[in-house]
Amino acid sequence: MRLDSKNNPKNGFAIDNRLLLLKPLIKEKITNVKPKLYLSISEKKEAKEILEKSGIDLKNKALIMMNILGSEAHKTLPFHKMAKIIDFIVEKTNANILFNYIPNQKKQALEIYNSCEEKTKQNIHFNLYGSNLRQFMGLLSYCDTLIGNEGGAINMAKALEIPTFSIFSPSIDKNTWQVFEDNIKNVSIHLIDIKPEIFEFKSTRFIRKNSSEFYNEFPEDIIIQKIDTYLDNYKN
C-alpha cells in the first residue's frame, strides 16, 4: 500500500510511506520518527572559532545560511532569482550570510554572488564554508535559519533543529518531500502552489527535462513575499 495525496501525511510521504513497510514487523506504533543529528563539543567549538575568526558576531547579528545550489541543475533556482532573494533578506535583516557550496561549485557560487547588489555583498562571507560535512553541520548549527533550494542541506538543518525555508524544484513532488513542516519553523514553496494549472497532464520526466521553462514561471516576488512572512513569524 502507498499513501496518496488524499491521506494528508503528517510527516511527508517520504517518511510515512516508509513507515508502512515496517508496519507488519513492528506491533507498537512508531511515534518518534524525526531524524536527529548530533555534534560533539569539539565540533561545536571548532565551528564557533571559525565563525569568530571570520569576524561574525553571533550575539548581536543574525546568521543565515543560503542553500544557493541544488544537487543538480533541475533542482537549482536560476541564479538571478536567488540573488534577488538574497538582496531582500539582507535588506530586511542585515544578517551575516553564508553560502552553502563545495569547492567545485565555486564558479557558480561566484556568479550568484556577483549578481547581488554591492551592499548585499558586504554581508556575504563568501569564502567561509565547511571543508567537510561535519564542519558544515557545525557552522549550520550556529545559523538562525537555512533558506534556499530544497535538498539534503535542508534535511540536515531540520535534524539539527535549525528553522528552514525551502524552495522546491518544479520536478520534485512537494507532498513527498515537505517533511516535518509546520508553516512556522519549517516552511516551503513550490511552483505548483502558485500555478497548479501548468502542471496538469505533465509527467515528472517532462517537467525535469523542461525545468528551465518551469523555473521561468516561478515569480521571485511571490517567493520573497513568503520568505518575508516566514522571517516575521520566526522573529515573533
Q: Where are the domains of the chain?
A: 34-235
The CATH number that domain 34-235 falls under is: 3.40.50.2000
Task: List the grid coordinates of 194.
Answer: 502558485
pLDDT tens per residue across span 175-200: 888 888 888 899 999 999 999 999 99
Q: 179 near 199, Cβ under 8 Å?
A: no
**Alpha-carbon span 144 to 2, nearest angstrom:** 36
Determine the pLDDT at residue 16: 72
Q: Is the dihedral of CA 77, 82, 88, 91 positive or negative?
A: positive
Here the cell at position 27 is: 506491533
Quick one: which of 199, 206, 215 has its CA closest to 5? 199
**pTM (2 d.p.):** 0.89
Tens-digit pLDDT profile for residues 102-156:
999 999 999 999 999 999 999 999 999 988 999 999 999 999 999 999 999 999 9
